[in-house]
Amino acid sequence: MTQRLEVVNEVTIRFAGDSGDGMQITGDQFTNTSALVGNDLSTLPDFPAEIRAPAGTLAGVSSFQVHFSSFDIHTPGDSLDVLVAMNPAALKVNLGFVKPNGIIIANTAQFVSKNLRLAGYAEDPLQDGSLASYQVFPVNITELTAHALADIPDLTAREIERCKNFFALGIVFWLFHRPMEHTIRWIEDYFTKRRRPKYVAANVSALKGGAAFAEATELFATTYEVRPAPLQAGLYRNLTGNTGLALGLLAAATRSGLQLFYAGYPITPASAILHDLSGYKRFGVRTFQAEDEIAAAGAALGAAYGGALAVTGTSGPGIALKQETISLAVSVELPMVICNVQRGGPSTGLPTKTEQSDLFQAIVGRHGEAPLPVIAASRPSDCFDAAFEACRVAIKYMTPVILLSDGYIGQGSEPWRIPSVPDLPKIDVPERPAAEGFAPYLRDPDTYARPWAVPGSPGLEHRVGGLEKSDVNGHVSYAPDNHETMTLNRSKKVALVAREMPPLEVHGDPDGGKLLVLGWGSTYGAIRTAVERCREAGQSVSRAHLRWLNPLPEDLGDTLAKFERVLIPELNLGQLLTFVRAKYLIPAIGLHKVQGVPFTASEIQSAIEELL
């Protein structure tokens, strides 16, 4: 039998298995190789909050979805072309996402009565005909892995078993004509660093064994090729949002000449930022794992007071704890950046899943009149730019800035065109005030920023604190008029940040039309894809995406007024929607989803179609 080679434009694969099956590594490897062969891509890792939920259960399923293409894409894909199911639970949880006639590769070794029961299957779905509308490839991955590793000495059954994810990856590599060198190099590097040389041979054999098996057995009648995507010229790497965020902070430190100080307390999905920055000591980055989020925010504020580029990062519950400190930062007008990699709430909520439900908390979550600029990243590669911009604005206006990311873009990845360092804007740090005529609240008439008079500067000794301060001289003051003046000054300063924003871009019909889809943050990809699809179908729909949520762009009102209707999709129950309705007095329509997963483009597409 000769295999047919089919060239396709895009493919979505999900690797799914037990938490201990190594699905995140498998997906990561497939992603990196796809990036290296020049595809555009977008990923969606999804794992349970429990480190090792009971084996074989639905709760223990961990998956990694990757969408790769020969054209420009913006989402991890709505439905699956290929599902790799390492056990019945993985099949059960993910089957609903597989396209009709989609490929299912199932590890038959795990389809035994106990696991079928744990997954809630009365009959073996591989046998009972229930999967007739899919292309099912039953493979005894566990046993075949053992065969592939037969020549490697000193491996326990458990160690062999643990290589099966690479066997599965080998099959998929072969199916999509992907080179294996990159993953082989990764395996060598990973296990050599951990001083486990025998695992190098084992995993490489598993990987090659998978590919050889797929080739020799003629299991697949068709193989597929996805050609490189025509990306903008440049040097690329694959980047997760969290790493992009860390790099953006570091770049801002470099371009401002300030010391980067980062304080955090471990929390999913923000910990990676602390991990990454802790590894940048050679850049002089100072990181601090605090005793809690309150202390992390406090330490960042202390560092800001000392003149550092101070940053703290966390996720929803941690932001709640930091708010009192952020209020103090608003009051003492010191620059700092607070990163919130949002997750599903309230409370511990869905710790490993995504949501956009902290917008209220970011904009109005403090006590007193405590406004601050809020910026949101829209995709993994944008986390770098958003972090850089947050730092720039914090320093220029002497204000805390909240930077919103979320679990989806923080942990997801896509190709990133690596910027040239000299081309990054330089961040001007306001000069230290002169001792002569110094006053702690003497504002820059242009930015309303107060001077950054750091300890150690002779003649600038002064006192700051959370008690209201008299305008200009900064003495404690409870005077009624003064409090109003200072409250207005602080709010005016934040309003001035709107000047930093380029004109709002409307994609579609800039002069107006029937429907505008307005988004913010990580809904970017799904909205863009949905609007593009609708426009290709001839529908009058446009889109705009907000980078700053506070203040809102000065031209937003005019833009909204040009459209008959405005749709705001959010992974919450309508938070931006509330602000837009209140501020512009328009009957904007919300599209809400709070399932811990991002919108698919189709969901937004249907909502658009319903409105047109």
Partner 1 sequence: MRSAVASAGPALTRDDFQSDQDVRWCPGCGDYSILAQVQRVLPELGVPKENIVFISGIGCSSRFPYYMNTFGFHTIHGRAPAIATGLKLARPELDVWVVTGDGDALSIGGNHFVHLLRRNLDIRVLLFNNQIYGLTKGQYSPTSEQGKVTYSSPMGSIETPFNPMRVALGANASLVARSLDRDTKHLQMVLKRAHEHQGTAFVEIYQDCIVFNKDTFAPLTDRETKDDNVLYLEHGEPMVFGKERDKGIRLDGLQPRVISLTDGQHSVADLLIHDEHDRYGTLSDILATFQERVGFPRPVGIVRNIERVCYEDVMLEQIDKAMARSGPGDLAALLAEGDTWTVGPNGS
Instruction: List the interface residues with partner 1, window 414-473 (CB under 8 A).
Output: 418-421, 454-467
Any contact of residue 96 with partner 1 (CB under 8 A)? no
Dig out the tokens for 601 from the structure: 């483009």
CA dist 385 and 424 (Å) reads 10
Closest distance of CB 298 from partner 1, Å = 3
Nearby residues of 130 by Cβ (< 8 Å), 6 or more positions away? 123
Enumerate residues 546-585 that contact partner 1 by CB under 8 A: none
Cβ atoms 181, 29 nearer than 8 A:
no
Using CB under 8 A, count the residues that bind partner 1.
73
Dig out the tokens for 481 from the structure: 């008029």
Any contact of residue 413 with partner 1 (CB under 8 A)? no
Dig out the tokens for 25 from the structure: 């590594």
User: Tokens 């301060």 sit at which residue?
Assistant: 469
Q: Please choose, out of 86-94, 115-123, 412-420, 508-516, the segment that lies near partner 1 by the rule CB under 8 A.
A: 412-420
User: Tokens 């309150």 sit at which residue?
Assistant: 294
Inter-axis angle of helices 164-175 and 197-217, nearest 10: 40
Enumerate residues 258-277 that contact partner 1 by CB under 8 A: 259, 261, 263
Enumerate residues 129-188 that contact partner 1 by CB under 8 A: 182
Closest distance of CB 287 from partner 1, Å = 9
Any contact of residue 32 with partner 1 (CB under 8 A)? yes
Closest distance of CB 430 from partner 1, Å = 17
* Exposure of 510 in the CB half-sphere (CA atoms within 13 A): 6
Closest distance of CB 568 from partner 1, Å = 34
Burial class (CB in 10 A: 0-12, 13-18, 19+), 464: middle
Q: Which of 44, 290, 496, 591 binds partner 1 (CB under 8 A)?
A: 290
Q: Which of 30, 288, 408, 452 binds partner 1 (CB under 8 A)?
A: 288
Residue 291 or 511 with smaller CB distance to partner 1:
291
Residue 394 or 589 with smaller CB distance to partner 1:
394
CA dist 389 and 394 (Å) reads 8
Residue 286 or 581 with smaller CB distance to partner 1:
286
Enumerate residues 34-63 that contact partner 1 by CB under 8 A: 35-36, 38
Q: Please choose, out of 90-98, 209-217, 266-274, 279-287, the segment that lies near partner 1 by the rule CB under 8 A.
A: 279-287
Cβ atoms 169, 192 nearer than 8 A:
no
What stretch of H or E contains 115? helix 113-118
Closest distance of CB 158 from partner 1, Å = 31
Enumerate residues 199-238 that contact partner 1 by CB under 8 A: 228-238
Cβ atoms 373, 397 nearer than 8 A:
yes
Dig out the tokens for 127 from the structure: 């046998």
Binding mask 104-133 toward partner 1 (x if CB under 8 A, else -) reads ------------------------------
Closest distance of CB 443 from partner 1, Å = 20
Any contact of residue 475 with partner 1 (CB under 8 A)? yes
Using alpha carbons, select from 161, 113, 157, 125 the residue that is nearest to residue 140.
161
Residue 331 or 357 with smaller CB distance to partner 1:
331
Any contact of residue 365 with partner 1 (CB under 8 A)? no
User: Tokens 């790493």 sit at which residue?
Assistant: 243
Any contact of residue 303 with partner 1 (CB under 8 A)? yes
Any contact of residue 189 with partner 1 (CB under 8 A)? no
Displacement of CA 300 from its chain's centroid (Å): 23
CA dist 74 and 379 (Å) reads 8
Closest distance of CB 477 from partner 1, Å = 11
Residue 230 or 503 with smaller CB distance to partner 1:
230
CA dist 92 and 416 (Å) reads 34
Residue 84 or 263 with smaller CB distance to partner 1:
263
Closest distance of CB 467 from partner 1, Å = 7
Displacement of CA 296 from its chain's centroid (Å): 22
Nearby residues of 5 by Cβ (< 8 Å), 6 or more positions away? 177, 222, 223, 224, 225
Enumerate residues 329-358 that contact partner 1 by CB under 8 A: 332
Any contact of residue 328 with partner 1 (CB under 8 A)? yes
